[in-house]
Chains A and B, each alone.
Chain A
C-alpha cells in the first residue's frame, strides 16, 4: 500500500514533462472523450510509454513519441493527462 502511494505521489501532468524525458501514461480520464478515443485509436492508453519531443511556439502543441509514432496534441489537454515519469 505504501508503494502504491509512492507511485501515486510521482504522478504529474504530461505537459510538465521536459522534452527528451519519458513517462508512462496513468490516467486519461481528465481529457475530452473524443480526444481520448483518438488517442486510444493511435494506441495511446494507460500503460503506454511516451517520450516528449518538443513544445510548439507561444504555448503551441506538445509533440510526443509513442511506439514509434509522433503525435501532436494541445498543451492544455497534455496538462490533463496523468503520467508517471520514468
Chain B
C-alpha cells in the first residue's frame, strides 16, 4: 500500500493535519515535541497510509524523538513525503525541505499556518515557491481544515511524478567528493533504496545514522579517505575546511535566494497579542505567583467547586438506580447468590467505585488539555528553569511533570524531547512522583472522609509533596548517580492561540477513553480477582473474609506496615493490588468493606483509620511504586532493567520513610 510520511519542523501542525486527513484524534499541542512516536493512519476516502512523525529540524537527529523520524525516513523508505512547512517561519523550515528534496522521492509541500503569516503581514507566494522547489505546494490551515481536501487530491497525483529536479550545486570540491562516494556506493553492488547522491551528501554532512546503515560491502576506510580528500580540496580552494558548516552555508544561501522570490516580510509585524500576554505571565515578579494561582484554580475546580459535586451525582446514580436495576435483573434471571454477590459486590462495587470519579478526571484532563493547546506549556518551562537548574535538571522537564498529573505513561515518553541524556533519565525516574489521575480517586475518597472542610488544600498538599520530593531527589541523584553532564535549556515560545472547544473536547475524550478502557480491563479483572480472593480461603468458598486468601496475603505485610500507621491486612491487600493500577486501591476497599455506596465506604474508612493514619496512608499511596503500565514504559525508554528496578526500589524506600515521619512525627506532637 502507498505510504506517505508526514515530515516537518516541530510545532508546525503535522498532527493537526494528520487528524484531519485520517479522522484520528491524536493529541495536539502548542509546543515543540508534542508527538514523540510515529503514528499510522489510513487516508480518508482514498486509501493509503499516512505516517505522522515527530518533528525535526534536519535529518541529523539530536534527541530520541527526532531519531524516530530520521530513522523512519531512512529505513522504511516511504514512497512519498508530505512536508509541512510553517509559512510564518519559512527560512528555518526550508532547511529540512532541501534535505528532503535531495532524497529524490515524490514530495508534496503543505504550506501551513498561512492565516498566522497573513495576520502578521508575511506574504508567501505559493506559486513562486512551487517554481523554485519543483514540487507542488498547497497552502493550508491544518487546525481549521482549510486546504486539506486539496492536499488529499494532490497526494493522489503524486505517485507518478518524480520531484522536479531540484538541485543545489555545492561547487567543484564537494560535487567531486559526492560523485566519488556515490560511485563507491554503487560499486558495492547493493541497490540501495535511497538516492546515491543524497546518501553521499549525508555522509559528507556527518550523518551517523546514514553511515551506520551503509551496506557491509562499503569499506569505512574508503569512505573516510574520500571525506578527508574532499575536506582538503575544499580548504585548498580557499573555502572552509569543515564540510558540514560549508554545506549549511550553501543551503542557507540558496534558501535566501528562494525567499527573495517567494517571501515578502517587509511589512512584518510582531505578535502583539503574544507579547502583551507574555509581558504579564512571564513577568519577573508576577510570573511564578500567577502559575501557582493557576494550579490552585485547577485543584479547586477539580476537587471542590465542580468535580466533587458531579461525582456525588454520579455516585447516587451508580450505587442507587444502576446497582438496584442490576440486582433486580439478576434476581429476575434467577442468578445464584454466588453470582449475585460477584456481580453486585465485586464488579459493580469494584469498577463502579472507581467510575464515580469520572467527572473529576474529566475536568482535570480538560484543564491540562487547555494548557497544552494554548502555548502556556513552553512558558512554564521558562518560569521554572531557574529552580530546575538548581537541582540539576532542565526547565523543560516540567512539561513531562505537568503531563504526569494526567498520566505518568505519556509523561515519561515526553521526556524524549530533551537534548541531554541525563535530563531524560532523571525526568523518567522522577515522573512517577507526580500524582497522576489514577491516584485521584484515593485522595478524593480519603480527603472526603477526613479532611472534608479543606479538601482542595490537602490534595494540593499531596501534589506539592510529590513535586518537592521530586526536586529534592533530582538534586540528590544528579549529585551522586548522574554527575557527568550539566543540564541544557533552550525553548521556543510559540505564539499563543485560543484552543478550539471541539478539539479540546476531543483531546479530553481521548484521555478519558484511556481511563474507561482501564476500568473495563485492569480494574474489572482486578475487582473479580480481589472478590474471589476475599471470598475464598484455605477453608473453602464463602469463608469469613478475615480467613480469606486476601487476608493472609495482606496480613503478611501488616507487621511491616504497623510502624507507619496502617498495619491491617486490608491496607496491605489494597497496596499490593494497587500496583496493577492505583485506582484498584479504591476497588479493593469497596469490595473488602462490602459497601453499597460511597457514603457507606466513607463510613467504613472512617472506622478503620484515624485522620493521621489516613494521611500517612495517602502519602504512601502517592509515592510507593510506579504502576504496572508505568514500569513497562520506564523499561522501554531506559532500555535497562537496572534503572527500572531502581525506580521501583527508591520509591518504596522513599514512601516508607515519608509515611514513617508523618505517622511517628504526628504522634509525637500529639495528633491522632
Contact = CB atoms under 8 A, between A and B. Distances in A.
A63 B490 CA distance: 10
Interface residues of chain A: helix, strand, loop or mixed (majority): mixed
A56 interface: yes
A39 B491 CA distance: 10
A35 interface: yes
A35 B382 contact: no
A40 B57 CA distance: 9
B89 A72 contact: no
A61 B386 CA distance: 7
A61 B270 CA distance: 21
14 contacts: A35-B488, A42-B92, A43-B92, A56-B284, A56-B382, A57-B284, A60-B284, A60-B385, A63-B493, A67-B91, A71-B490, A72-B381, A72-B382, A72-B490
A69 B492 contact: yes
A55 to B, nearest CB: 7
Contacts of B268: 68
A74 B88 contact: no
B312 interface: no
B386 A58 contact: yes
Given A43-B91, A56-B282, A70 B389 contact: no
A54 interface: yes
Contact of B385 (A42, A45, A74): A74
A7 interface: no
Given A32-B488, A42-B57, A70-B493, 5 more contacts: A54-B282, A63-B278, A68-B268, A70-B278, A72-B385
A10 interface: no
Contacts of B271: 68, 70
A38 interface: yes
Nearest to B62: A37
Interface residues of A, number: 30
A40 B491 CA distance: 13
B89 A69 contact: yes
B92 to A, nearest CB: 4
Contact of A61 (B265, B288, B382, B420): B382
Contact of A63 (B62, B248, B382, B395): B382
Interface string A48-86: 000001111111110101011111111000000000000
B120 A68 contact: yes
Residue from B275, B282, B385 whose CB has the most chain A CB atoms within 10 Å? B282
Interface of B: 57-58, 62, 88-89, 91-92, 95, 120, 122, 248, 252, 265, 268, 270-271, 274-275, 278-279, 282, 284-285, 287-288, 378, 381-383, 385-386, 389, 395, 419-420, 486, 488-494
A68 B90 CA distance: 11
A25 to B, nearest CB: 14
A34 interface: yes
Contacts of B378: 72
Nearest to B382: A72
Contacts of A45: 252
Contact of B492 (A32, A35, A71): A71
Given A34-B419, A42-B57, A63-B282, A72 B493 contact: yes
Contacts of B120: 68
Nearest to B122: A68
A73 B489 contact: yes
Contacts of B395: 61
7 nearest A-B residue pairs (beta carbon): A41-B57, A70-B493, A43-B92, A60-B386, A57-B284, A72-B491, A72-B382
B288 A40 contact: no
Nearest to A75: B386
A65 B62 contact: no
Given A34-B419, A40-B248, A68-B268, A57 B490 contact: no
Nearest to A65: B270
A9 B491 CA distance: 31
Nearest to A74: B489
B382 A55 contact: no
A60 to B, nearest CB: 4
A37 B62 CA distance: 9
A45 B252 CA distance: 11
Given A68-B89, A70-B493, A57 B385 contact: no
A29 to B, nearest CB: 12
A56 B395 CA distance: 12
A57 B387 CA distance: 10
A10 to B, nearest CB: 25
A71 B491 contact: yes
Given A38-B62, A41-B57, A65-B270, A60 B492 contact: no
Which of A35, A54, A56, A73 gathers the greatest number of chain B CB atoms within 10 Å? A56
A68 B284 contact: no
A71 B282 CA distance: 13
